[in-house]
């Protein structure tokens, strides 16, 4: 069979135009596009403006374990698209991909989106590896199908939430036109946060123990504890201080305040009446003043209560608590380097790794609504190859809907402790998810040691 290599259409046109040769020509064209797409991920773009965009919809959401969600891989503003090579990474401990049509649960595949005409397209690869957390989808049109332009859906991926945790959806895409040239595109991934449903009954403040207080009342003139006139000025704390930590309160502040902030003297909850009448004994309604967390309300005679708090739990990684460790190379606690104490958190890889990999830690924090300043401070010690594209990244998300409030990417290569700060003052009152991680591009070896991650907030002066 003779094949015309100078066909002005840019694709392989079979000669002569017999039905057999036409089928061979279509096959050769598909093979050419397929081979190009296999190499497209390692080829540099041509430098054109990135008018084309490939993205996920929705790009972030929250699920409960057992729930499912279909995410569309969309393309926008493309011209003369003839083939796509899509890769999607996810956290296999948190998510699993379901078979798109439900016919092959043991060998799941995703669904083509239809932007490339399904009656004229050839799907070369459609693979899901739930153990590794990867999806690969490669599709090309067959000559003489016309190229696709505009916007639409390339593929649909259905996830099932497995267990609580965070999963970044790491999307990569290579695009080709009808003459096997790369189409530059801006690519953006997403995130799925899996949270356990917390029964509200365990979080509502129940006061079942408090009625027992009334049992101490007796028809005698000498009650078990006698309110005296010195109770309003003396430094002694009555037993009513402990019930201020109600179930469902901001328990996050408890270990932090005990280290950094002296609680104001509790306002006496006993009536200041000097008459020791037994009927005014330990009234439980006065004992339970519904305050959240450490009381920062003004005490009698004071104007306003200022505070200076550190909100990150286990900031030096000295214990194996409070931090969620995520990624294909999950972080580990380390004693190799430590800025303070004896341990730090090891991010990244120590040996050559085939392919890209992420490694991050995460913690949820409540910011006070009345703060006047909030600054995140962290120290990192890098070791690695300075010619890599490896980099540190930081995301601050709103816990309620996973919306990214702020994000940063940066890197330093000098092997020393570096300080990095982020201003979080604009997010007063937000419950945030703080994520700090390291991206390895698969070309070398980079490790970063993280230590002394602190979030300092200051209240009204």
What pairs with residue 165 in β-bridges? 194
pLDDT at 112 over 80: yes
The more confident residue out of 226 and 355 is 355
For residue 457, what are the β-bridge partners? 309, 374
Exposure string for 362-372, b = 16+ CB within 10 A, e = fewer? bbebbbbeebe
Q: Cα–Cα distance between 51 and 71 in angstroms, integer?
A: 22
- Sorted by sequence, the CB contacts under 8 Å of residue 200 that are 6+ apart come out as none
* 3-class secondary-structure state, position 212: helix
**Across 39-45, average pLDDT:** 42
Q: Rg of the chain over CA atoms, in angstroms? A: 31
With the CA atoms of 291, 295, 297 and 301 taken in that order, what torsion angle do they form, in degrees rounded to the nearest 10?
Answer: 130
Of 352, 382, 357, nearest to 444 by C-alpha is 352
Cα-to-chain-centroid distance, residue 414: 28
Q: What is the pLDDT of residues 367-416, one digit of tens each?
A: 999 999 999 999 999 987 666 788 999 999 999 989 999 999 999 988 89
What's residue 328's pLDDT? Answer: 81
Domains delineated in the chain: 48-194 (2.60.40.680), 310-458 (2.60.120.260)
273 neighbors 424 (Cβ within 8 angstroms) = no
CB distance 241 to 266 below 8 Å? yes
User: Out of 106-110, 285-289, 369-373, which region has the weakest mean confidence (pLDDT)?
Assistant: 285-289
Chain segment 154-199, per-residue pLDDT in tens: 999 999 999 999 899 999 999 999 887 899 999 989 989 898 754 4
| pLDDT digits 0-9 by tens, 235-272 | 444 443 333 333 333 333 333 333 333 334 444 444 44
Report the predicted TM-score, pTM, of the whole model to 2 decimal places: 0.40
Listed residue (237, 239, 229, 238) closest to 272, CA to CA = 229
Cα 183 from Cα 49, distance rounded (Å): 10
């Amino acid at each position: 069979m003779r094949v015309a290599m100078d066909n002005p259409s840019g694709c392989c046109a079979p000669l002569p135009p017999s039905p057999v040769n036409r089928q061979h020509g279509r096959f050769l064209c598909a093979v050419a596009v397929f081979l190009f797409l296999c190499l497209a991920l390692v080829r540099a773009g041509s430098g054109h403006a990135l008018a084309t965009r490939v993205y996920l919809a929705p790009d972030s959401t929250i699920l409960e374990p057992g729930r499912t969600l279909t995410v569309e891989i969309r393309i926008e503003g493309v011209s003369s698209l003839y083939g796509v090579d899509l890769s999607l990474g996810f956290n296999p401990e948190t998510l699993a991909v379901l078979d798109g049509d439900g016919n092959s649960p043991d060998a799941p595949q995703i669904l083509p989106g239809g932007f490339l005409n399904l009656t004229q397209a050839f799907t070369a690869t459609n693979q899901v590896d739930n153990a590794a957390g990867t999806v690969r989808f490669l599709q090309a049109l067959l000559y003489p199908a016309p190229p696709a332009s505009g916007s639409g859906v390339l593929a649909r991926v259905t996830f099932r939430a497995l267990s609580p945790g965070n999963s970044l959806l790491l999307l990569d895409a290579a695009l080709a036109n009808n003459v096997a040239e790369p189409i530059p595109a801006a690519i953006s991934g997403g995130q799925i946060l899996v949270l356990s449903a917390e029964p509200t009954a365990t979080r509502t403040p129940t006061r079942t123990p408090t009625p027992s207080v009334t049992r101490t009342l007796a028809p005698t003139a000498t009650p078990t504890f006698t309110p005296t006139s010195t109770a309003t000025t003396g430094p002694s704390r009555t037993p009513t201080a402990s019930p201020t930590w109600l179930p469902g309160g901001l328990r996050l502040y408890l270990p932090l305040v005990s280290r950094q902030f002296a609680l104001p003297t509790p306002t006496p909850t006993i009536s200041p009446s000097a008459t020791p009448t037994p009927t005014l004994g330990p009234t439980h309604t006065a004992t339970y003043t519904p305050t959240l967390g450490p009381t920062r309300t003004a005490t009698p005679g004071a104007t306003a209560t200022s505070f200076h708090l550190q909100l990150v739990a286990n900031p030096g990684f000295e214990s194996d608590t409070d931090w969620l460790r995520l990624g294909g190379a999950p972080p580990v606690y380390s004693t190799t380097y430590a800025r303070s104490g004896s341990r730090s958190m090891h991010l990244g890889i120590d040996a050559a790794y085939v392919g890209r990999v992420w490694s991050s830690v995460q913690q949820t924090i409540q910011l006070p609504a009345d703060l006047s300043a909030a600054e995140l401070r962290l120290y990192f010690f890098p070791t690695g190859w300075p010619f890599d594209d490896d980099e540190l990244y930081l995301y601050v998300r709103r816990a309620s809907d996973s919306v990214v409030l702020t994000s940063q990417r940066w890197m330093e290569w000098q092997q020393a402790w570096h300080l990095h700060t982020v201003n979080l003052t604009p997010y007063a009152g937000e419950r945030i998810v703080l994520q700090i991680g390291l991206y390895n591009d698969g070309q070398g070896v980079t490790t970063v040691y993280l230590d002394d991650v602190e979030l300092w907030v200051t209240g009204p002066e």
